[in-house]
Amino acid sequence: MSAETGDRSPKAGMLGLDGLLPEQLSRRGFVVMTALMSGFTMATAHAQANPPVRTPADGLVAGEVKIPVKDGDIPAYRAMPEGAGPFPIVLVIEEIFGVHEYIKDVCRRLAKAGYLAVAPELYARRGDISRVTDVQVLLRDFIAKTPDAEVMSDLDATAAWAAQHKGDAQRLGVTGFCRGGRAVWLYAAHNPALKAGVAWYGPVGGQTSPIQPKTALDVAGDLKAPVLGLYGGADTGIPVASIGELKKKALAAGKTVELEIFPDAPHAFHADYRPTYRKEAAEAGWKLMLAFFKKHGVA
């Protein structure tokens, strides 16, 4: 939890928990997710300080799909323009709260810009994330137990699925928010077919584990695609100095990294359903993301 829930620890801020309220849920309610949630994760339901952006689906093909992965199927949300395609692909990586309405809307916004956007539910195997109201349960039973190798494999499978469903595999991009921003850095070091990545306030450092062995800083010299990092200068969980260290390490290895730091923005400044939302920074970051994708061949 964050300062707004009584925990001012850097770890909490790095995970983007600003504006959340602690509640309890019996683990007896957990089931593996076979379908996406409607609305918002229960953990975020009380955090809505602003009317969330609602992007209509007119002119789009949008809705839930199934992504074949190595051990079955996982649910995902796909949005793309109507028409024959092929469309450039953008993988959208969720926050820690699952593929809820905010992430779906991000996909529709990208589709309105001409992309096939798809957000896989990367925590589906751990249980029904939509029912979690206790953030600590979410961190312990979902985030900490999801191997980075599994995330990379699922993103590969999602890109392959998109390429078979009107997507252009030669124009592949990725974007993600908070924990998803961290995954953007890792995926840019993983997939040589990636053209560009955009990480929204993704943690740079942090704790590692046997199943999550590297941080974004650890892979900075191994990037296989250009990455744009969008960060808030008022983010108490991600020090500006650490972001600069990542860029310095990447540039020293001959990699392409661009950073934009919005001085007064907190963590999760793009999350329009939360008190942390900052409209000016969110809209400016969105424009920078689209321009970065276009510049590096994801358009």
- Give the active site residue among 148, 178, 190, 296: 178
Instruction: Give phi and psi for 198, each to the nearest 5.
Output: -130, 115
User: For residue 15, how far is the Cα from the chain centroid?
Assistant: 12
**Residue 235: active-site member:** yes
**Residue 107: active-site member:** no
CB 110 within 8 A of CB 117: yes
Which residues contact residue 36 at a Cβ distance below 8 angstroms, ignoring those fewer than 6 apart?
64, 75, 76, 77, 98, 99, 104, 121
- Give the active site residue among 134, 154, 190, 267: 267
Beta strands in the chain (DSSP E): 60-69, 72-81, 87-93, 116-120, 167-177, 196-200, 227-232, 257-262
- Label each residue of the chain as H, E or C: CCHHHCCCCHHHHHCCCCCCCCCCCCHHHCCCCCCCCCCCCHHHHHHCCCCCCCCCCCCEEEEEEEEEECCEEEEEEEEEECCCCCEEEEEEECCCCCCCHHHHHHHHHHHHCCCEEEEECCCHHHCCHHHCCCHHHHHHHHHCCCCHHHHHHHHHHHHHHHHCCCEEEEEEEEEEECHHHHHHHHHHCCCCCCCEEEEECCCCCCCCECCECCCHHHHHHHCCCCEEEEEECCCCCCCHHHHHHHHHHHHHCCCCEEEEEECCCCCCCCCCCCCCCCHHHHHHHHHHHHHHHHHCCCC
- Give the active site residue among 134, 235, 272, 296: 235
Which residues participate in catalysis according to the annotation? Answer: 178, 235, 267
